[in-house]
Structure 1
Amino acid sequence: MFDRLEIFALASARAQHAAARQAVVAQNIANADTPGYRARDISSFDETWREMQMGGGPRDGLPVRTIDANGTASPNGNSVSLELEMLRGIEAQRAHSRALQVYGSAMSILRTSIGR
């Protein structure tokens, strides 16, 4: 029922996007010492949301696309910067928290409107 309301679909997709970004950040940090490893990130939420809408909506899953983070490579070819990964992790955590707040607020409004 609630998945048909746009605000719930948007909040859910935003939380999934943040979780996917956090997973990519964790993978980058885990490979910080791997020679030749290129740091990755995922496409922006706006781009992901547009692709999801074109693909028929949330039932098709979140089309998260991994991209190269375009970092400067060290002499061994590794492009992971732990400082940048920490910032990306914080951004992902904040985006996830924001999505949960939106979801919670929408639930409160819905409950108030039906008198519960």
Structure 2
Amino acid sequence: MDLAAIGLFHLASRRMDYLGARHQVIAENVANANSPGYRAKDLKGFDFQSAMQSAAVRPSLTDPAHLAGLREARDFKEDRQAAAYEMAPDGNGVVLEEQMMKAAEVRQAYDLAAGLFQKHVGMLRQAFTGR
């Protein structure tokens, strides 16, 4: 059985991919905290709530003239215009406290998505085995 064919597993997988990419960008920000002129970056492009709503109801095409109804998946986009709350005299816009808060937020969201994934695997296992 291909778990990626089940909407919730596909959605959780995409969410974890996005969070992994966002964590990498945050790590780059922290690594460049002392680089003159470096500005903090962040990722945009994944709205979990709207993705959940669109995954909840999937229209079926019963006629070739019907419209598809689901949008194509978009890649994540880097937001190079992240708001700089503080600016060092050398032009560096990385605030370590802000980056650490974002990293903690990413960790919590990743744990939630991984937990959902594991719970649904357990539900499927129980449905198949009866235990």
TM-score, scaled to structure 1: 0.84
| Equivalent residue number for residue 89 of structure 2 | 75
Per-residue deviation, 1:44: 5.1
Quick one: distance in 1 between partners of 2:124 and 2:87? 50
Quick one: distance in 2 between partners of 1:54 and 1:77? 40
After superposing on structure 2, the runs of 4+ consecutive aligned residues of structure 1 that deviate more than 2 Å are none
Instruction: Give RMSD over aligned pairs.
Output: 1.9
Residues 3-42 of structure 1 correspond to what in structure 2 (within 5 A)?
3-42=4-43
- Count of residues in correspondence between the two structures: 108
TM-score, scaled to structure 2: 0.75
More helix, by proportion: 1
SS at match of 1:88: helix
Query: Which stretch shifts more, 99-108 or 65-74?
Result: 65-74
Query: Which stretch shifts more, 35-44 or 81-90?
Result: 35-44
Quick one: distance in 2 between partners of 1:101 and 1:14? 12
Per-residue deviation, 1:82: 0.1
Aligned residue identity for 2:71: M
Aligned residue identity for 2:119: S
Quick one: distance in 2 between partners of 1:89 and 1:106? 26
Per-residue deviation, 1:14: 1.1
Aligned residue identity for 1:29: V
| Equivalent residue number for residue 109 of structure 1 | 123
Per-residue deviation, 1:76: 1.2
Per-residue deviation, 1:54: 2.6
Query: Which stretch shifts more, 64-73 or 87-96?
Result: 64-73
For the 8 Å contact 2:45–2:75, the answer to whether it is kept is no
Query: Which stretch shifts more, 16-25 or 62-71?
Result: 62-71
